[in-house]
Every structure is written in structure tokens, then in C-alpha cells.
Amino acid sequence: MTTSFGAAINIAAVDDPNPKLQIQRFNGLKSTSNSILLSRRIHRSFSHSNSTSIVRAVSTPAKPAAVEPKRSKVEIFKEQSNFIRYPLNEEILNDAPNINEAATQLIKFHGSYMQYNRDERGSRSYSFMLRTKNPGGEVPNKLYLVMDDLADQFGIGTLRLTTRQTFQLHGVLKKDLKTVMSTIIHNMGSTLGACGDLNRNVLAPAAPFAKKDYVFAKQTADNIAALLTPQSGFYYDVWVDGEKFMTVEPPEVVKARNDNSHGTNFPDSPEPIYGTQFLPRKFKIAVTVPSDNSVDIFTNDIGVVVVSDEDGEPQGFNIYVGGGMGRTHRMETTFPRLAEPLGYVPKVDILYAVKAIVVTQRENGRRDDRRYSRLKYLLSSWGIEKFRSVTEQYYGKKFEPCRELPQWEFKSYLGWHEQGDGSLFCGLHVDNGRVKGEMKKALREVIEKYNLNVRLTPNQNIILSNIRQSWKRSITTVLAQGGLLQPRFVDPLNLTAMACPAFPLCPLAITEAERGIPDILKRVRAMFDKVGLRFYESVVIRVTGCPNGCARPYMAELGLVGDGPNSYQIWLGGTPNQTVLARTFKDKVKVQDLEKVLEPLFFHWKRKRQAKESFGEFSNRLGFEKLGDLVEKWDGIPESSSRYNLKLFADKETYQAMDALARIQNKNAHQLAIDVIRNYVASQQNGKSMD
């Protein structure tokens, strides 16, 4: 006889005639249970000196509140939602401009966040951000044009390219949500699972190369995304009234999803992998090829790397687990973490291996405190050996040792490139991923006229693909007129910089990021000029308005993480190829005081670095104690140092004249000179000299 109410209680026989309660820790969900609750049996054993009878599995009355493991409020919302439907399906129909707390959490699974304009005072003006799901950043021509239209008709007139290769559409009113969602769905798009406690968008290199490993990486990303897509139909029930959309899935995906030979699935559930509770928190996966770290592979819950033989034929995958960026200020128990090697699997097993990892997190990740619910905390608690052992039980095989790989490189794929199939692709830098104004018009013109498909990059940039050689000149001209210049005409600092949206719409922002980074980059360039660093030299700078790390600042050479109004925590020590975790250097640095900290660091990097030593590598070699001393003792650039950076100018007189003009515009000479060059190129460029 059993009673199921959400926790396990063992009453063990002891010398004392009074049995003792032993409450086991919460183990997550059990896939063999069909209950929507976290079912456990109550076992009770009695041992008496004058009796040999033993009673087992007796249903003993007990208060659930006394034994049920603590769960976060979101876990209860999920449990009561009828697979992420209720109360969202009712809330979107009423006349209020916002939705209630439960619906606010559930709509994330549908790919949306409720926001309000934090620049406005008084009553809140609510709107919704929608995020698409585009595995590998692939955007068909039709979908791009629709998103461009929706931004103008229902958004704020801009499209935001994200660090996970998706679009964000800001400013959608609640009354328009169903129209916008259904339009996306009917035009080859989806927002399902772009947010929420499930697998998010799967990253892959955006470069549309025809090489075997790149093609295989993209195919694998597509298959993983399909494997972990919710199956219960809640998304279509809410937004298109249950209309069915038939998609053809590869048979290997269907087979892997349905396989329950190792106890991974919820039998007879509409969500065989996720169940009613889905995952404890968000889950992020990236796929890439050796040496290509355009996807920040080590920041993901799972990193998958194609391994090929000497003939370039893909054979299997190295798998890395436990990466993640989010943390909380003043809580040292929260931290960013790099993924570590789990093992190698043959290519036919990749879906089963990924599923096993996801189930291990589903069953064992914490559901009581969402600050500790990511996979990285399970890895940190267990260690890789225990995690590997448990995952192998769901995988049904042993992981092989990871194969050796070449050094990683960050690859932006900006500029013109051969695809390898006779066509070209063109990578375009978009500052902070914000497509707006003349740039938006130029992109629309080119994409629509030439029927181009698009790839979004993890660095908030955009790639136009399948371009004929004969179109190159005219496309280059239109793009340049819209401000989309070839990378050699863009400040190198901008090419690798990233920022999250932060103010005014993000509810988590503590200070500025996207709106603040343009001025920060100009000030860094001015410091470079002042200490004698050349224009082509750069550092990877990433800025976020809060510690959640959406722009991955903890991998930057210089990360600025909002920790108060107009204040940043400074992180140093990441590397240009995104393989080393940065560390906290200083707290509470006011934005107006950045020069006091950064100028001495750049000055000493210029003079004390080793050959080809990056700023991040230099910071790690000197150590933070030494760097702190350099900042504390800084009294300005020594008089013996050159006061002028003449690299761009023929003589001192030209520099001084340009500097005088620049000061009128609150710029320095170098910035004004570059602006003049850029404007000239944009107005005069006819495409003949573009690469």
C-alpha cells in the first residue's frame, strides 16, 4: 500500500523503540512515474524486541508540507499549467496591458518576456519582447522580410540580433501578441523554447561553408534542436488555436526521442523528455568544428565539437559540459564556469548522448533555488567523474576519451568569403546587433532584391549567403550607403565588442550596456591613442547591465558588469579566442572614472607586453595584485613618453590641426580622422575597391 505526495521518507529500525524519520534530499523528477507530482513511496519498518513482525510500505498519515522538498514558485507554476498553457491562454485574452505572475513565467517557454519602459516615470507601459528560435542562426529569406515588417508594424522599428543567433523583437503590445506570433509561425519561423526552462537556441558556426565538417555541424545542431523541441502542442494551441504544422523530422531524431531503453523518458506523456516540470532552468547547447570558436563553445551547458578523420569525413564528437555565465553580485556561491571535457561519442550516438546529459540535469538539478539550478552547479557539486558515471547510465555506454583538437580561434567571418560551392557570403558588422534606420533599409533592399538567405552570428552580426559573384559590386555599394562597411573600415574595438540591451526595457538591468557602450569604446580608443597603441590593436570588450552575463562578459579581455547606477564591476583576463575565464579586478567603478583604471593598464600593456601577447594574457601574466598597484600609483603618462600618436598623420602640424577641430566635436584627432574617412568611403564607394 503506498501513498504518493512528493518526498521520500524512510523510517528505519533502531534500538530505540521509537522509529526515526530520515528525509532524503530531493532527487528531481523520476521518468518512470506518470504522476504530475514528484512521487515517492513512504516506507516504514518497525522492529520490536518482543516481536518478529515487520511491516513495510504502510501508508502513514503525514502532512505534505512537512516532508515535501522545497520547490521554487516557478516549479509550482509549471506543475499547474497543463503543459505550459494555463493561465497564459486566458491572460492574453483579457483587456489588461499586462499578464499575471504565473503567465509571465509561462510565456517565456513560448519565446517572450513581459517588459516595461524603465525610462518612464509613473504608471508602467507594458510591452513584450519576442525572441525567435533559429538553430545555427539560419533565417530563410521569407522569414527575414516578415521580421523586418513586424518590427515596423508592431515593434519599435528595430530588430535586435542576439548572442545566441536569434532575433529579438521589442515593444510588442499584448493585444498584438497573437497576430505577431501567428505571423511568425505561418512564415517558417518559431519562438517556441527561445526562453524558459528548456533547451534554448542551438548555436553553430554561422559561416555557410560547403565543407563537410561545417555542413555536418549545422545538421547536428538542427537535429539536437528538433530532439529537444517540446512535443505537447501548447505553443500552437495558444497562438494558432491548435492548428497543426507538419514538419518532417529525420528518422534518427524520432527514434532517439522515443527510445526509453535506459529509463530516460516519461511513458505515455505528451512530453516524453521534459515531463510536466521541464528542466530546472535554461539549457544551452552549441555545436562547432575544431578551431572555430565563433560560438563561445565553453560557455554552454553542452558543447559539441565535430571530429573528422584525415580525409575530412566526420566520425564523431567531443562533448564538453557544465559551462554557464550567470551569477549574482555579492554571492560567491554563484559563479561563471567553463565547460569541461566529458568524452567522445561516435556520430551515430550524439543524440542519445545529448539526451542522457539533459536527463541527468532534469533528474538531479536543483529545483528549490533557481540561482543554483543550472547544470554548472551540478557539475561543481558532483565533479566530472560522478557526472560522467550517472550520465552513462542514461546513455547506456561508456564515453571514450576526448580526441585531441587544434588550438581554438575566434572567427568573425566578416567581409567577403567563398562558400565553396561557387557562391559568396558577406559578413556584416552590426554594432550591438541593433538593426535600425538606414542600415535596416539597406539590408531589406539587398535581401529582398536578390532573394538572399541570412545567417545570424553569436557575435550579434549578420551574414548574407548564396551571393553570385556578379552581384558583389552592387550589393557592396548599397550596404556601404546604409553604413554597413567592410571590416577594414570599422574600428577593431567595435568588431569584437558586445553589449546586452539593458535599459530601458530589460527588467534586470542595473545600469547601461547597449546605450552606453558606444561612448565607452570611443573613450577606450582615445586611451589607446594617448598611450601610443596603434589603430589595428584591440581588446575584446563586453558590457552587461547586470551580472546575468547575456553578452558573455566573463570571457572578455575587459568585461564591464553593471553593479550599480552608472557603475561597473571590472573583469580582466579573458582571451581573444574565448578559452579563459576572466576574473573580478575591481568593484563599483563609476563610468566617469574608467580612465583612472584602464589608462594605466593600457599604458603598461603597451610597454611591458611580450611578443604578440594579448591584453588578457598580459593581465594574467602580471597578476591582479601587480595590476592593482599600477592603478593605485598611476600619476599620468610620464613626460618622456610621446604626447602624440602620429601614425595616421604625416606630421605634427596636421595632427594638431585635426585635434583642434576634433575637440569642438568632443572627439580626439584620431576619431575625427576615421569619421572623415568613413564618410568619404560611404559616399564615394562604387564597389570597385572592395574585397
Q: Model confidence over 472-488: pLDDT tens digits?
A: 999 999 999 999 999 99
Q: What is the pLDDT of residues 277-323, one digit of tens each?
A: 999 999 999 999 999 999 999 999 999 999 999 999 999 999 999 99
Beta-sheet strands, E only, within 180-313 = 285-288, 302-308
pTM: 0.85
User: Residue 335 is placed in which grid cell?
Assistant: 559563479
Q: What is the pLDDT of residue 677?
A: 79
Instruction: Please report which confidence band the pLDDT of residue 423 belongs to, taking 50, 70 and 90 as the band edges.
Output: very high
Dihedrals phi, psi of 509, to nearest 5 degrees? -65, 140
Q: Is the pLDDT of residue 45 over 50?
A: no
Instruction: Please report which confidence band the pLDDT of residue 650 belongs to, taking 50, 70 and 90 as the band edges.
Output: low
Contact present, 131 and 112 (Cβ < 8 Å)? yes
Chain centroid to Cα 137, Å, comes to: 12
Instruction: Please report which confidence band the pLDDT of residue 245 belongs to, taking 50, 70 and 90 as the band edges.
Output: confident
User: Could you tell me which of 113, 111, 249 has the C-alpha nearest to residue 190?
Assistant: 111
Q: What is the pLDDT of residue 57?
A: 36
Average predicted confidence (pLDDT) for the chain: 89
Q: For 506-535, what is the mean pLDDT?
A: 97
Q: What is the pLDDT of residue 18?
A: 38
List the end-to-end C-alpha distance of the chain, in Å, as a whole number. 76
Instruction: Please report which confidence band the pLDDT of residue 657 belongs to, taking 50, 70 and 90 as the band edges.
Output: confident
Peptide bond into 87 cis (omega under 30): yes
Instruction: Please report which confidence band the pLDDT of residue 648 belongs to, taking 50, 70 and 90 as the band edges.
Output: low
Q: For 520-548, what is the mean pLDDT?
A: 97
- Poorest-pLDDT segment among 35-49, 133-147, 305-319: 35-49
Beta-ladder partners of 294? none
